[in-house]
Amino acid sequence: MAAAAKSEGIDPIAFRNACGGFATGVTVITTKLGDTEHGMTANAFMSISLDPPLIAISIAKKTRMLDYITKSGRFAVSILASGTEATAMHFAGRPDDNVIDPLRQLGGLPVAREACSVFTAEVEQRVDAGDHVIFVGRVQQMQANPDIIPLIFHRGRFGKLHEEHPNPILNADFPFEGAHW
């Protein structure tokens, strides 16, 4: 284990690096104001509720995206597919001239063309959380392609799933009751 956190506080860089041990998917968060589309890469996304269908994203207060989502009242999340590292970097503020027309429309919002799943949502709740704001959104539309392998982010690097278990642990008929998945 790396050095323990100082008792007077947690170093932000050490905290970020420790959290980087949790492998996540890579998403592009988008919204639209008037005719202008806005997007950013993020990995702070999760499902919140099945009924009603709610998702959450966490946006840094220092980003322009915070104001865009606040003003539009809606957002989209695209879970990027493996092999779309250039698209992820493009929306992370490192424009790439080779990333041409990466977005399409779903329900009036831009979503990534090369995605495992896409969701459009209306902002239902805004939660102030330190240097971020968490937006809880009610899903309005979604599309998913279970055959596409997701892009993964772990310890500051992109990756992909190397091997999946041949039998899923859940299937479409699995009852969602109590504390079950």
In this structure, are residues 168 and 146 in contact, taking their beta carbons and an 8 Å threshold? no
Q: Mean pLDDT, to the nearest integer, of 93-121?
A: 95
Domain coordinates of the chain in residue numbers?
A: 23-160
Rounded Cα distance, 2 and 79, in Å: 31
71 or 3, greater pLDDT = 71
- The predicted pLDDT at position 16 comes to 81
Residue 66's CB: how many other CB atoms inside 10 A? 17
Beta-bridge mates of residue 45:
57
Predicted confidence (pLDDT) per residue in 122-141, tens digit: 999 999 999 999 999 999 99
Question: Whole-number mean pLDDT of the chain?
Answer: 88
- In CATH, 23-160 is 1.25.40.10: no
Q: What is the pTM of this model?
A: 0.84
The answer to whether residue 98 scores a pLDDT higher than 50 is: yes
Residues of the chain above pLDDT 70, percent: 85
- The predicted pLDDT at position 18 comes to 85
The answer to whether residue 46 scores a pLDDT higher than 90 is: yes
